[in-house]
Structure 1
Amino acid sequence: MPRYALLRHTGAPDDPSGCHIDLLLEDGDTCRTWRLATMPRPNAGAQPAVPLPPHRLVWLEPRSAAVSGNRGWAERIHAGSYSGVLPNTTDPTDKDVTLQLQGDLQGCLRIAKGHCSLTIP
């Protein structure tokens, strides 16, 4: 099963809040990635999800490390696997994503119209 991870990213020069969450979804040789303001909470409603360039697979492993290019520090805080299929697209804003998460976070992850939500029945 493909993997997911959520990273706490601090000190990014383009992040005025100083801390955000990177949501990574394994997709072949890289991870599709979105920036979230906070950790997704089950049934808490949707929050903005900003697409980022693909991230390396190494970030799916347990680690805490400096981000290349003096772009802060990232620490993996949640991880697991997901079922479902990522849409085949080169533009992550182009299609909705609906996946089932298993692992540290569980439930239905949905990214649609620039927003991310996590629901559990």
Structure 2
Amino acid sequence: MKNIFVGNLSFNTNEDELRQIFEGYGQVDRVSILTDRDTGRSRGFGFVEMASNEDGDKAITALNGSQIGGRTINVNEARPKAERGAGGGGFGGGGGGGRDRGDRGGRGGGGGRRDRY
């Protein structure tokens, strides 16, 4: 079994179309195009699971850099999240750019309350 990442898809490409394209290289077990959870619109990438590694390798070689829906697609072996170097977790962000929590200066007015006597 080979899990394949397909990127730079047209927002109009659907799972059936993607399945038909990959079936030219072997048995396709599963196809999923990821969508925005709020709008339901395609996020422009998806995954194809091929039954065998050999068929998956053939599809990757043949389809990477090809055109689907007027766009040049990226086709690569999918990597597990741990290998992709997933971020620090929880709500994204990188910790605020390394600034100390007490550092509020740098923009004139400063931060916090100042009592003037």
TM-score using structure 1 length: 0.30
Q: Which is higher, the Rg of structure 1 or of structure 2?
A: 2
TM-score using structure 2 length: 0.31
The structure in which a higher percent of residues are strand is 1
